[in-house]
Structure 1
């Protein structure tokens, strides 16, 4: 999909959300959400049925509101606003392991920028990408038999150890 197409799609989604929020007579509350999960799409009361869940999931995905909500504890993602950063990082790596590894070989990409944000250094994505490219074989090294650590935990642990060795990133990131 072209950038113009993506922008148009996002504008349509925002317009739909705005219309539904403005015309809804129910208060938006942090009630349990449907199968689409938390995020901006879960906050529209009219979207509790099956079709609404598809629209909610599309809204969450196209606007990245679910990722932001999970990270920040907003958009109906938690009841107390507290999310453990390490758990969010682990979930992200688990669901993005292969494309993240591919982007790491190039040293740039959307997932590298996202992991930089999740590690607390969103303005240092370029530096993190360079580090990840340089240390790719170590970060994504296959685990040994009998290791009880999950692959995503191992990747994160190795990445964080390399960040700790980098003078710029260890100061910038809040991992």
Structure 2
């Protein structure tokens, strides 16, 4: 798996955060001009040609239009709602290796991020502790190593362990 470093992780976390915003509220689609939907249509304050150029540049540089069309966010549909479990799955898919590494320590940015995605950001310490204790089960190798399927399995195992923990079961909305 490629390692892109902290700046790439920040970009991923920003995208996942935008994902979460769409989970908690409906984004109303407004006419967005020739640049199309995507993050650029949401952050551009100018509705003139300059605004359209900035919107298109933002969409292309962050691939937000493709992401928005696929997920139904960023003004790309009128409903703008993405299921939380899909956001969790996307996060695990793109952060599987570093999340597994942080899990061996029981702490880290990705553990805090997954705690937020699971609805219990104030319990990231407890989640990290649980993930460290159950690391071998959560990240147990599977027969089918395809990342899409593996991320679902990892997430399913993590949620099963959260359900067994009285404190996290109450705190997390997963």
TM-score range, shorter chain: 0.5 to 0.7
Question: 2:161 aligned with 1:162, yes or no?
Answer: yes
Q: Whole-Å Cα distance in 2 between the matches of residues 38 and 99 of structure 1?
A: 28
Unaligned runs of 5+ in 2: 11-28, 45-50
Q: 1:74-119 CA distances to partner (integer Å, 9 max, x unpaired)?
A: 7536531321111111111101111111111111111111111111
CA contact (8 A) 1:74 1:81 kept: yes
Q: Whole-Å Cα distance in 1 between the matches of residues 103 and 30 of structure 2?
A: 40
Q: Whole-Å Cα distance in 2 between the matches of residues 103 and 139 of structure 1?
A: 13
Aligned to 2:135: 136
| Farther off after superposition, 121-130 or 77-86 | 77-86
User: What is the TM-score when the length of structure 1 is the normalising length?
Assistant: 0.62
Instruction: Please state whether the residue corresponding to 2:169 is helix, strand or coil.
Output: helix
Q: 1:9-30 CA distances to partner (integer Å, 9 max, x unpaired)?
A: xxxxxxxxxxxxxxxxxxx936
Aligned to 1:29: 30
User: What is the TM-score when the length of structure 2 is the normalising length?
Assistant: 0.63
Q: Kindly tell me: are residues 81 and 146 of structure 1, through their superposed partners in 2, closer, same or farther at Cα, counting changes over 3 Å?
A: closer
Instruction: Please state whether the residue corresponding to 2:87 is helix, strand or coil.
Output: helix
Which protein has greater RCO, CA pairs closer than 8 Å, 6+ apart? 2
Aligned to 1:112: 111
CA contact (8 A) 2:73 2:82 kept: no
TM-aligned CA deviation for residue 132 of structure 1 = 0.5
Unaligned runs of 5+ in 1: 7-27, 61-65
Count the aligned residue pairs: 135
Instruction: Please state whether the residue corresponding to 1:150 is helix, strand or coil.
Output: helix
Q: Kindly tell me: are residues 52 and 122 of structure 1, through their superposed partners in 2, closer, same or farther at Cα, counting changes over 3 Å?
A: closer
Q: Whole-Å Cα distance in 2 between the matches of residues 145 and 137 of structure 1?
A: 17
Q: CA RMSD in A?
A: 3.7
Q: Kindly tell me: are residues 137 and 34 of structure 1, through their superposed partners in 2, closer, same or farther at Cα, counting changes over 3 Å?
A: farther
Aligned to 1:13: none
1:96-111 equivalences under 5 Å are 96-111=95-110
Aligned to 2:84: 85
